[in-house]
Amino acid sequence: MTFQRRFVLCLVLLFLSSPHSASYAIAQDDSYDLVLRNGRIIDGTGNPWCSGDVAIRGDRVVAIGRVERIRAKREIDATGLVIAPGFIDIHSHSDFLLLEDGNANSKIRQGVTTEVLGEGDSAGPYEGKRSPRQVTVGGSVEQWSTLGEYLDLIDRSGVATNVASYVGLNNAWQAVMGDAFDRPTGEQIQAMRQIVERAMRDGAYGLSSQVMMPPGSLATTDDIVEIAKAVEPFGGIYSTHIRNEGTGVFASVKEAIEIGERAGIAVDVIHLKIADQQFWGRMNEVVALIDAARDRGVNVQANVYPYTRGNNNLVSIIPPWAHEGGRDKLLGRLRDPRQRERLKRDIVNGVEGWYNHYTAVGGDWSRMLVSGNNRFQGLTMDRVMSLRTRNRSNADLLDELFDFLIEEQGSVSTVYAHHTEEDMNLAMTQPWCSIGSDGSAYAIDGPLRRGNPHPRNFGTFPRVLGVYARDRKLLRLEDAIRKMTSMNAAKIGLPQRGLLAPGFFADVTVFDPHTVIDRATYTDPFRYNEGIKYVIVNGSIVLDAGQHTGARPGRALRRGHFD
């Protein structure tokens, strides 16, 4: 039996043996709030499907199998449909969009019932040299400093999905160092560690990082090990966007493993890929590194999204040294003719240890798609360059890049075509690799229809079910669902979620296995998928026969709390 399945079995046995489990015994009541009848039940363990019913009372699943026909407020005929645990998005960026619109449309309609937030940055804490964060929620200005205060705001504002969060390395780093690129002292590293510890006490599920760009890239391996030790007493994990996904991918995976091993914590590598054409076809070597670490007892795992293009910022083409001091300093360097010459040399030739998006795609502007909210959204950068340099045959394209970034205040969201189907497929099929979207909760209309976002924001989970499980048979359907549910719950230690089992929270997704498919594309991303029929969060129906009910029963999930 694999570690993952042993963990899932332990979750079930732990709950069923706990003093709380008795309160969900069927004998205590003779009525249900909802019964899903005659479905194909896939419980999230990876076991083969079975036919049966699922009964829900309050926010819990109370019976599975052949459920007696007693009183129920509502019954849904699930004949021909799959009944599965609600999907847990292990890598999500919905932090602030959920406060704009708590309906979480593009996630709910994928079957997602829980979002796990945080990468380089998290929604808290904002302290020290970082100003408190504020947003407008329902017409009122809300401000917070700690991660706990953000989670409280999630509960007050009302959201459709459950929300869990890591604490971001950037938050701790910039709270102490600000925008400076100075090396921290030992005392400053300890101050960062204390900030992370407080966030863990607020309910964070671990430390997350993005060490490809500043400020995360300023942290050495030793720095991160010391800071990450703060999460070990809480059972937290280290979730990381590694330092270099291109020609430095092997060293970067080794670094992530080393951090977990030295800090004594589990590791989850975010959206595992080989994102440089020079190293395409070598995913087997990355897999071997992770397998070897696991063989010696390091709990390192990974997640992927089912697309061969990634989403980053056009400003990531600008080398790290130019980012020191924050956005205004960066823009000043982009305007400076002397600095431009150094920037051009570094972009074309690279800088040691830096993941260079420009060279990763072979300097091919056609493999960069503008997804930011500007006049060029939805166009590839070769087309943008053509429009910008019309009637100027001698134009320098890197100068045009700098001018474009200046016009957009240093930020242009961009989709890069930088990894391959073969490498992604090999990663996806590994037993330690789960599914995460790296996306946000957008909508096809209203204020959250903006920019030209990556289709993964709308289609990740249906795409895995429809393309990779049903059509290409890369995965058994049961294994695909395990990678979206119990595997992600086990990774971060979410109690009583990720499985269909009596006593577990009633987070449920019901879909048609014959029609489920993604519809969003790179040039037409604002399209909901097909085939997801019902989504239930904490016992409340949020998606009803494909229609959002407006219900917002989601909860902020805090580590150590049995919410």
Measured CA to CA, the distance from residue 455 to residue 434 in angstroms comes to 19
Question: What's the mean pLDDT in 509-515?
Answer: 98
CA-closest candidate to residue 163, choices 97, 260, 234: 97
508 residue type, one letter: V
Please report the pLDDT score of residue 364 as a whole number: 94
Q: Is the pLDDT of residue 295 over 50?
A: yes
Q: Is the pLDDT of residue 26 over 60?
A: no
Please report the pLDDT score of residue 13 as a whole number: 43
Question: What's the mean pLDDT in 40-59?
Answer: 98
Please report the pLDDT score of residue 353 as a whole number: 84
CA-closest candidate to residue 496, choices 62, 112, 67, 75: 62
CA-closest candidate to residue 211, choices 178, 183, 253: 253
CA-closest candidate to residue 65, choices 88, 35, 91, 93: 35
Please report the pLDDT score of residue 29 as a whole number: 55
> Percentage of the chain with pLDDT > 70?
94
Please report the pLDDT score of residue 563 as a whole number: 67
The C-alpha R_g of the chain, in whole angstroms, comes to 23
Tell me what the pLDDT averaged over the chain comes to.
93
Please report the pLDDT score of residue 17 as a whole number: 38
- Contact (CB, 8 A) for 316 and 275: no
Please report the pLDDT score of residue 373 as a whole number: 81
Where do the domains of the chain lie, and which CATH numbers do they carry?
1-90+103-111+459-563 (2.30.40.10), 313-417 (no CATH)
Q: Is the pLDDT of residue 23 over 50?
A: no
Please report the pLDDT score of residue 345 as a whole number: 95
Kindly report, residue by residue over 128-145, the tens digit of the pLDDT. Answer: 999 999 998 888 999 999
Question: What's the mean pLDDT in 406-411?
Answer: 95
Length of the chain: 563
Q: Which residue has the higher pLDDT, 274 or 69?
A: 274
Tell me the CB-side half-sphere exposure of residue 262, using CA atoms within 13 A: 14
Measured CA to CA, the distance from residue 36 to residue 54 in angstroms comes to 5
Kindly report, residue by residue over 207-234, the tens digit of the pLDDT. Answer: 999 999 999 999 999 999 999 999 999 9
Give the helix/strand (H/E) hosting 534.
Answer: strand 532-537
Give the tokens for residue 211: 């060490």
Give the single-character DSSP code of 63. E
> What are residue 63's DSSP bridge partners?
55
| Helix 249-263 and helix 221-228, axial crossing angle in degrees, nearest 10 | 40
In this prediction the pTM is: 0.90
- Contact (CB, 8 A) for 541 and 549: yes
Listed in sequence order, the residues at least 6 apart from 391 whose beta carbon sits closer than 8 Å to its beta carbon are: none
Q: Confidence band (pLDDT; 50, 70, 90) for 68?
A: confident
Q: Confidence band (pLDDT; 50, 70, 90) for 3?
A: very low
130 residue type, one letter: R
Q: Is the pLDDT of residue 9 over 90?
A: no
Kindly report, residue by residue over 458-508, the tens digit of the pLDDT. Answer: 999 999 999 999 999 999 999 999 999 999 999 999 999 999 999 999 999
Please report the pLDDT score of residue 395 as a whole number: 84
The DSSP annotation for 411-444 comes to --EEEEE-S-HHHHHHHHTSTTEEE---B----S
